[in-house]
Structure 1
Amino acid sequence: MRVTYSDNTCLVVDDFLDQDAFERLSKSVQYIDYSSIHDSGWNKPYGPPGLPIIQSAGVLRGEKESTPSGLGLIGSFVEDLRNAQTPLSDGPGAGVVGSRILTGKVVAMGAGAGLFWHADTDQVSGAYVYYLHPRWDSSWGGELMVMDGESQLGVAAQTQTALGDGSRPDYEAVGAVIGPDFRTDPAEERRMQIGSGRFYAARPNRLVILNGQVEHRANPVLPAAGHNFRCSLVGFAIK
């Protein structure tokens, strides 16, 4: 385990697991069940339905615990991450390590699939991405992009709750980070004003921890990836 990058928004750790543990976990995700990311409705940060994006069931660790069938190794990973010590408990990792509830699920993206710019809701103190694919080339895309600075705008999920009457939220008036459908809101204006940030390749056995305010996206997987999927274990620390 070695820390590659760290600031108040992002922690990057390479060779997170020893090689044997990584190979066991990487192989295990080939045998679990997946469904479309859009099965329960349009999950807008992942783009329009029809793109090759699949997900596993989710695990929970902390005050609430759940381990769906076949996800024992995923559950162990999430539990170990939640109970980790330094250097993971420092900086942005403090929002994940020791969290009240930590989630985890596998998300796999094929060629053409990515993740739009977004920040997480105020119910999330941190998030993580851990790359499970056994190989990834720099020409295959799928980089994690992190915007400079921290979001100071509202969040669509908060707006929906605040209205409380089932009507469509007035995203533009509140300044949502996620949404609306055509992405013409103050959050997009802010992104264009900043226009800079960092990227992290989807290197196997790499763990990236983000705080709850930084805006981020995943570059689309490029056609050069062929039939290879960008396979990651992702999760959120729930306040």
Structure 2
Amino acid sequence: MNLVCANSQFAVFDDLLPQDEFEQFWAMYRRSEFKSVHAERLRPSFRASDGHPYIGEYVVWTQTAIESLLPPGVSPSALPARFCPTGKAYDTLIDRVRKHALPGCADLVGREGRDWVGILGRLYAYPVGSSITWHSDHLEVTGSFIYYTNPEWNVQWGGELFVADESALGQMTGDYTTLRFDTRHETEVLMRSGTGHYIMPKPNRLVLVGPGSPHKVAKVLPAAGDQMRASFAGFFITAPGVGQLVEQLRPR
């Protein structure tokens, strides 16, 4: 694992997994089931113009037994999520992130047990024409992560992760209505500097993003053909955030 870049907003690690484990994760990804990102509900982070990304199942790791973090009367079996240890390649990836990437990034995404108590992730697949618009993460989280599992990526295929300039940190606090009709607040915040960073979806790359940084995924371009931007992405969740997560996952 190699630290490629780190600043006050994000850190980038290449070659996170040994090659055999990377191939095992990709094999699991290919066998996984996906559904439309809007299958459960309309998600305000995605606009109508963001196309049709796909998502996999929720995967949850917690520092202590998940039962101790759940509200009274709520059983893990009642939640539509897979809890670690899963017996799948998720376990190896999450273990390596925790033990090798996170210890040196406590100032960026917080410290396990002190600032956050759990990890929530799921697989994402972005086909041609799909993206995710500018947004900030508003759950009780101390940061987010993206792991790129696609075995190949070409610089002409798009799908870059954009992170806004540090001056926008914590500024994108507008009301995310379901269909995102009004973008004036976002435009005002991001155009003050009008600059930022981009990160390519390089295979076997891990990106950690600190809280409050507006970010987006650029559209996957027609040159990608049938190739998809493949990732496992999610958040580092605080104890109150686990309660919020449960409320989101509970069947209605």
Q: Does the residue aligned with 2:82 lie in a helix, a strand or coil?
A: coil
Cα deviation 1:206-234 (Å, max 9, x = unaligned): 10000111110000000000001100000
Q: State the one-letter code of the partner of 1:200.
A: I
Which moves more between the two structures, 56-65 or 11-20?
56-65
Contact 1:60 1:75 in 2 (8 A): no
1:25 and 2:21 aligned: no
Q: State the one-letter code of the partner of 1:145.
A: F
1:40–1:201 distance in 2 versus 1, CA, 3 Å: same
- Equivalent residue, structure 2, for 1:172: none
- Equivalent residue, structure 2, for 1:56: 56
Q: State the one-letter code of the partner of 2:211.
A: G
Q: Does the residue aligned with 2:212 lie in a helix, a strand or coil?
A: coil
Cα deviation 1:91-114 (Å, max 9, x = unaligned): 424367973011111000000000
Matches within 5 A, 1:208-219: 208-219=207-218
1:151–1:89 distance in 2 versus 1, CA, 3 Å: closer
- Equivalent residue, structure 2, for 1:225: 224
2:159 to 142, 150, 171: 142
TM-score, structure 1 normalization: 0.82
Q: State the one-letter code of the partner of 2:222.
A: P
- Distance in structure 2 (CA, Å) of the matches to 1:228 and 1:68: 29
Contact 2:156 2:221 in 1 (8 A): yes
Matches within 5 A, 1:1-239: 1-48=1-48, 51-62=51-62, 63=64, 64=66, 67=82, 72-84=88-100, 88-94=104-110, 99-121=116-138, 123-149=140-166, 150-153=168-171, 155=173, 175-176=174-175, 178-179=176-177, 181-239=180-238
% identity of equivalent residues: 26
- Distance in structure 2 (CA, Å) of the matches to 1:71 and 1:96: 22
Cα deviation 1:148-194 (Å, max 9, x = unaligned): 11433364xxxxxxxxxxxxxxxxxxx34x45622334232111122
1:19–1:212 distance in 2 versus 1, CA, 3 Å: same
Contact 2:126 2:220 in 1 (8 A): yes
Cα deviation 1:37-81 (Å, max 9, x = unaligned): 100121132222892311110111114386369872124422442
1:85–1:142 distance in 2 versus 1, CA, 3 Å: closer
1:96–1:203 distance in 2 versus 1, CA, 3 Å: farther
- Distance in structure 2 (CA, Å) of the matches to 1:126 and 1:12: 14
Unpaired segments of 5 or more residues in structure 2? Answer: 67-75, 239-252
Contact 1:146 1:199 in 2 (8 A): yes
Between Structure 1 and Structure 2, how many residues are aligned? 219
Q: CA RMSD in A?
A: 2.6
- Distance in structure 1 (CA, Å) of the matches to 2:136 and 2:111: 15
- Equivalent residue, structure 2, for 1:160: none
- Distance in structure 2 (CA, Å) of the matches to 1:37 and 1:14: 27
